[in-house]
Chains A and B, each alone.
Chain A
């Protein structure tokens, strides 16, 4: 790269509405801030010029219809898939420098569950960065992995092959692996998709505990009926940012209609406003 290029000032980023916004200021107390992020598969953007700020000590939901770029935004924020443009700051640092403060819970369907590994092995994967290449897993670390498994109610399953678990149990194991990382920001991709009621409750209890410990939780979420019960903050996306803010002000019928278009049945919206009193 030409040395002179490094002196060019950070370009301002054109937001979706054509106005120029300020790049997300890298503040150390903001767990996750993305600005001007565009991700494209081929030449069709899945996420276009999205700005978002996810607050500290809160549970945030990323909500939107299928194919709206929810998971894509999460993965781009993590650097798992490349961004075409934009910036991501984690606690005020570029994502690459803050990896050890983030824990990720991918979608259950993204891995091969016939892989030769046991439940406790998977949880210990969360410790690999700390152990390093040559280190041995100390007794202390093994105890911590088991403790994380216990927090999701799966300690009795430690030695099972992962293929023998139910869908809900698999999701709990993934959560335990993220807990083992002892991060400050937890990013979850559809943690409640296809899990049983008991697992959903177990997961939400763990997440609420994390919040009470001052951690931030950001989850891609698809079940509109539980948003009010589970989350403090919502981010509505349909390729572009549609709305964001505290659940009380941003999770409104108008915003949902704008996000989902005709895809959300009117009765469903009524139901939501009834229970939530919008």
Chain B
């Protein structure tokens, strides 16, 4: 059978199935808990946090070895990475708060320093007798080869907790992301909510370290939320859609890498997520590029049609080819440019509406209504039938448009 289908249906072996399920769970957790990071416009903090895990991995390994352990206990390594990631996070916060440096400078500094320290530690570990087989480089880009059932359980439990916490904290996090001043005025501790949000992101980063690696985990936190934003206008739904995008990317990425074993899992997951992002960017119904182009074209057509009809009513010649083409297509003018019966009728209606607007501006002092004139909005949308009847009464009887 086709290796891709095998992997898709979890028939490509125990390890491949474990990786696919783990990646899907991780993707869901990362996508949903990354939502508020994106909405709070602090996406890059997650990159610094991810890089700040590396020294923790190294230190944890050294400590465990020096205590006589084997040093590769995943729980121990993850605990170590969580500690340095948290220190990095607090440091960014402290620098941004207490110095004149902006947050982006703090992110750059912390990311570089912690990652550098981590690399130095990994090099030292390489030279230790216990370190040769440690496989700690796997934390950089992720590795799935030796994934154990226990690893999947860690992702499942940690991921569920992260999603649950995101859902529980959605109201304060929404408030802080949308309007932090108002949140503070209501008595929310904005700093603590921000730290909680980052803490969630850090937790997901740590549990995803082994599978995706610290360099690419930021993509799993951010791309799903950015993608989800194309499909909804409500932050609560962004959480779930981002989770779904992340889950599908994780699963498909793992499946692809299982069916082509030479390809790495983490990068494939990110590429699948990027594919869904590009699709959304182009084809999302309201916010997508294609929808925007279509909307603009329709609007342009309305403007040209209206201008064309006004020109007909005023018996001005129409010079723009696009306008003429539109009017011809709609049967408003004949091929030789002479208006048809319908064309004349519609032109008369539009000319009359313009005069109604003139009256409306004289009668109504309220700019709230007459201010809605933009040349396109039908007068029937702004004024009631009896108001329009009143304008007509003031206008006098029907005015001939003039014969052409």
Task: Give A contacts to B, CB under 8 Å.
Answer: 75, 78-80, 96, 99-100, 102, 104, 106, 110-112, 115-118, 121-122, 125, 128-129, 131, 133-134, 161, 177, 181, 187, 196-198
Contact = CB atoms under 8 A, between A and B. Distances in A.
A79 B185 contact: yes
Provide the main secondary structure of the chain B interface: helix
Contacts of A129: 186-187
B126 interface: no
Interface residues of B, number: 28
Contact of A131 (B171, B181, B234): B171
B168 A121 contact: no
Contact of A198 (B178, B234, B367): B367
A100 B368 CA distance: 35
A78 B233 CA distance: 30
Contacts of B177: 115
B160 interface: no
A80 B184 contact: yes
Most chain B C-beta atoms within 10 Å of own C-beta, residue among A79, A112, A134: A112
B182 A125 contact: yes
Interface in B91-144: none
Given A96-B187, A129-B186, A115 B168 contact: no
B371 interface: yes
B366 A198 contact: yes
Nearest to B35: A116
Contacts of A134: 168
B39 interface: yes
B295 to A, nearest CB: 13
Contact of A110 (B39, B181, B371): B181
B291 interface: no
A111 B183 CA distance: 12
A117 B178 contact: yes
A104 B39 contact: no
B171 A104 contact: no
A99 B186 contact: yes
A110 B169 CA distance: 23
Given A115-B177, A128-B172, A104 B366 contact: no
Contacts of B371: 196
Nearest to A189: B181
A196 B367 contact: yes
Given A196-B371, A198-B366, A106 B182 contact: yes
Q: Which 9 A-B pairs have the closest CB atoms?
A: A198-B368, A99-B187, A104-B185, A161-B233, A80-B184, A78-B185, A111-B179, A116-B235, A115-B178
Given A116-B234, A118-B234, A197 B186 contact: no
Given A96-B187, A117-B174, A133-B172, A106 B233 contact: no
Contacts of B366: 198
Given A133-B169, A196-B368, 9 more contacts: A75-B181, A100-B187, A110-B181, A111-B178, A115-B39, A116-B235, A117-B174, A117-B234, A197-B368
Nearest to A95: B187
B259 interface: no
B72 interface: no
Interface string B217-243: 000000000000100111101100000
A100 B366 CA distance: 37
B175 interface: yes
Interface of B: 39, 41, 168-169, 171-172, 174-175, 177-179, 181-182, 184-187, 229, 232-235, 237-238, 366-368, 371
Contacts of A78: 184-185
Contacts of A128: 171-172, 175, 186
Given A197-B367, A198-B366, A198-B368, A80 B234 contact: no
Nearest to A99: B187
A121 B169 contact: no
Contacts of A102: 185
B229 A116 contact: yes
A106 B181 contact: yes
Contacts of A133: 168-169, 171-172
A181 B175 CA distance: 14
Contact of B178 (A99, A112, A131, A161): A112
B39 A116 contact: yes
A117 B185 contact: no
Contacts of A187: 185
Nearest to B186: A129
B168 A125 contact: no
Contacts of B234: 116-118, 121
Nearest to A121: B234
Given A80-B181, A106-B181, A128-B175, A117 B233 contact: yes
A198 B174 CA distance: 31
A42 to B, nearest CB: 9
B397 to A, nearest CB: 33
Nearest to B187: A99
Given A110-B179, A198-B366, A118 B168 contact: no
Nearest to A98: B187
Contact of B233 (A111, A112, A118, A125): A118
Nearest to B366: A198
B64 to A, nearest CB: 38
15 contacts: A104-B185, A110-B181, A111-B179, A112-B178, A115-B178, A116-B233, A116-B235, A121-B234, A122-B178, A125-B182, A128-B171, A128-B172, A128-B186, A161-B233, A196-B371
